[in-house]
C-alpha cells in the first residue's frame, strides 16, 4: 500500500503555494498539510512530531531531508492560509484511491501518538479528517489500530 502511495508523487521544485504547484506536488503539500494540522491539533507541535512528519515525507515522497523540510515549510504556509481543511482533503480524495486514503489515515494516527498521548482535540480532528477523506465506517479505527500496533 505504501508503494501505491509513493507512486503518485514525483520530485518537483517547491512552489510558493499549493495552488501554484504541479498536480503531484500539490498532493504532497495537501497530505503534508494534513499531517501538520494533526500535529498542531493539541497546540503542542513537538520536535518528535516534527521529526516524524519529516521522516514520513522522506519515505512516502522519496525526498531527502532538505527536500522534506522544504515541503513541510510550504505545507505549513498553505495550512496557515487555509480557511478550512476542505482544500486539502478534497484534493487528496480526488487523487487517492481508498487504499491510499487509508494509508494517510494511518499516518495521521502515527502523528497523534508520536508524542505518546492522545488529546481530545486530536481524536476529534482525526474523525473529521476521516469523514472528509470519505473513509468507510470502521476504516479510521482500523487505521488507528495499525498505527498503535493494536
The CATH architecture assigned to 22-148 reads Orthogonal Bundle (1.10)
Mean pLDDT across the stretch 64-79?
96
For the segment 77-95, what is each residue's pLDDT rounded down to a tens digit?
999 999 999 999 999 999 9
Confidence at residue 16, expressed as pLDDT on a 0 to 100 scale = 41
Domain range list for the chain: 22-148
Q: Which residue has the higher pLDDT, 2 or 83?
A: 83
Model-level pTM?
Answer: 0.81
Q: What angle do CA 75, 80, 82 make, to 5 degrees?
A: 90
CA distance 33 to 132: 14
CA distance 49 to 72: 12
Read off φ and ψ for residue 43, nearest 5 degrees.
65, 20
On the question of pLDDT at 131 being above 50, the answer is: yes
Amino acid at each position: 500500500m505504501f508503494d501505491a502511495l509513493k507512486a503518485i508523487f514525483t520530485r518537483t521544485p517547491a512552489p510558493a503555494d499549493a495552488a501554484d504547484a504541479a498536480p503531484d506536488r500539490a498532493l504532497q503539500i495537501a497530505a503534508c498539510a494534513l499531517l501538520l494540522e494533526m500535529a498542531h491539533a493539541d497546540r503542542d507541535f513537538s520536535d518528535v512530531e516534527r521529526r516524524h512528519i519529516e521522516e514520513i515525507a522522506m519515505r512516502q515522497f522519496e525526498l531527502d531531508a532538505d527536500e522534506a523540510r522544504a515541503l513541510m515549510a510550504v505545507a505549513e504556509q498553505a495550512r496557515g492560509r487555509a480557511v478550512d481543511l476542505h482544500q486539502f482533503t478534497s484534493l487528496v480524495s480526488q487523487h487517492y484511491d481508498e487504499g491510499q486514503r487509508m494509508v494517510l489515515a494511518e499516518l495521521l494516527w502515527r502523528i497523534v501518538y508520536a508524542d505518546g498521548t492522545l488529546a481530545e482535540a486530536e481524536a476529534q480532528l482525526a474523525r473529521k479528517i476521516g469523514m472528509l477523506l470519505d473513509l468507510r465506517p470502521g476504516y479510521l479505527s482500523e487505521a488507528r489500530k495499525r498505527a498503535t500496533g493494536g
